[in-house]
């Protein structure tokens, strides 16, 4: 199979996803603009309820009722606006153009069928002419990820460990040669060594196959290891988006700062580490006006109560905050520039 080795770019514009609840339609994602540069890995971080998984599902136009995409577009190079796709066209896009590794991919395999049988099902449902080639590709991919491909294809879910299932999930997302890949919490419930292995594999496969990758997680550490860009989500908004080293090294948004300070780390001062105060917002508890983060913010202004900050370019990234930057910690460009 000939592969044209240019990764597609993805442009999300004004994306709003609402969920129908007893108290009316509430936005889980509201007016998100996010550009994934071709060939990069973008990490989307946020707490539970930040809208990150909904954003990921929108990339496939796969938001399930009671949710729906109410506005905006997801433009993928060579594919157009995914939000407009319907029916058969949409089904073909999923898997063929956009690969998706589901949250808890460890448990999303059919326990009754061998991996190989599920692979053939996938191939048939996408009208793959040469199923032999598909199996060959799958075996190759699994081998690339450090597994015995033939053995894995003959196995059922329960015969594989958590890390192996995760790799099988990645194989399924890539085997139809999708160029845009979305991974939802790829390392949750894996131990550290397995997590490190999976992250390395994601990075290597991404580079080899010229992909554009989106990694969704609540663990900043996990994306810090693989991602080029980092988008921080809160209350359905992207509050900060920029190169990983810069966002982590000199966070501009107070939420990003709090998030980083809350990571249990091996080095660094124990006394400075602190959990984020308050609790993550849910659909119903989001403030109607002003900045969504203001109630947990350590330095909110009067302005924050009334006006919602608009994402604006500053310090080499996009930030949605009324507070003037830059902050005390200067960007250390010495090593990572």
Q: Give the binding site for another protein (CB under 8 A).
A: 22, 47-48, 161-164, 189, 191-197, 199, 218-222, 224-225, 244-250, 258-260, 262-268, 270, 273-276, 279-280, 332, 334-336
SS3 per-residue string spanning 143-203: HHCCCCHHHHHCCCHHHCCHHHHHHHHHHHHHCCCCCEEEEECCCCCCCHHHHHHHHHHHH
Whether residue 326 is preceded by a cis peptide bond, meaning omega within 30 degrees of 0, is yes
Tokens of 187: 């390392």
> Residue 86 or residue 334: which is nearer to another protein going by CB?
334
Q: Smallest gap, in angstroms, from Cβ of residue 268 to another protein?
A: 7
> Residue 134 or residue 248: which is nearer to another protein going by CB?
248
Nearby residues of 333 by Cβ (< 8 Å), 6 or more positions away: none
Tokens of 96: 């063929």
Q: Smallest gap, in angstroms, from Cβ of residue 72 to another protein?
A: 27
Determine the 3-state secondary structure of 286 from DSSP: coil
Q: Around Cβ 83, how many Cβ atoms within 10 Å?
A: 20
Q: Smallest gap, in angstroms, from Cβ of residue 73 to another protein?
A: 30
> Residue 8 or residue 163: which is nearer to another protein going by CB?
163
Determine the 3-state secondary structure of 257 from DSSP: helix
> Residue 196 or residue 301: which is nearer to another protein going by CB?
196
Give the separation between CA 148 and CA 196, rounded to whole angstroms.
19
> Residue 14 or residue 268: which is nearer to another protein going by CB?
268
Give the separation between CA 248 and CA 261, rounded to whole angstroms.
10
> Residue 93 or residue 195: which is nearer to another protein going by CB?
195
Q: Smallest gap, in angstroms, from Cβ of residue 163 to another protein?
A: 7
Q: Smallest gap, in angstroms, from Cβ of residue 120 to another protein?
A: 27
Determine the 3-state secondary structure of 61 from DSSP: coil
Q: Smallest gap, in angstroms, from Cβ of residue 194 to another protein?
A: 7
């Amino acid at each position: 199979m000939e592969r044209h080795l240019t990764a597609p770019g993805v442009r999300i514009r004004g994306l709003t996803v609402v969920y129908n609840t007893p108290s009316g339609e509430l936005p889980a994602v509201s007016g998100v603009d996010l550009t994934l540069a071709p060939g990069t890995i973008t990490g989307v971080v946020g707490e539970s309820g930040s809208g990150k998984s909904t954003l990921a599902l929108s990339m496939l136009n796969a938001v399930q009722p009671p949710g729906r995409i109410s506005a905006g577009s997801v433009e993928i190079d060579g594919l157009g606006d995914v939000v407009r796709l319907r029916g058969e066209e949409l089904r073909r896009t999923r898997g063929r153009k956009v690969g998706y590794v589901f949250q808890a991919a460890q448990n999303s395999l059919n326990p009754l069928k061998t991996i190989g049988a599920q692979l053939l099902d996938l191939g048939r449902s996408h009208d793959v002419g040469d199923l032999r080639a598909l199996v060959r590709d799958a075996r190759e991919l699994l081998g690339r990820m450090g597994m015995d491909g033939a053995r894995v294809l003959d196995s059922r879910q329960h015969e594989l460990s958590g890390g192996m299932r995760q790799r099988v999930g990645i194989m399924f997302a890539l085997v139809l040669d999708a160029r845009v890949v979305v991974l939802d919490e790829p390392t949750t419930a894996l131990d550290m060594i397995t997590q490190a292995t999976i992250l390395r594999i994601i990075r290597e496969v991404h580079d080899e196959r010229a992909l554009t990758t989106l990694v969704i997680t609540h663990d900043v550490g996990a994306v810090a290891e693989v991602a080029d860009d980092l988008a921080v989500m809160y209350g359905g908004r992207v509050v900060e988006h920029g190169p990983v080293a810069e966002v982590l090294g000199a966070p501009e948004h107070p939420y990003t700062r709090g998030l980083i300070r809350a990571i249990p780390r091996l080095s660094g001062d124990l006394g400075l580490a602190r959990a984020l105060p308050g609790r993550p917002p849910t659909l119903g508890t989001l403030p109607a006006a002003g900045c969504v983060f203001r109630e947990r913010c350590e330095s909110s202004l009067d302005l924050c109560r009334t006006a919602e900050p608009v994402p604006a370019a500053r310090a080499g990234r996009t930030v949605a905050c009324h507070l003037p930057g830059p902050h005390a910690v200067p960007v250390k460009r010495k090593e990572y520039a």
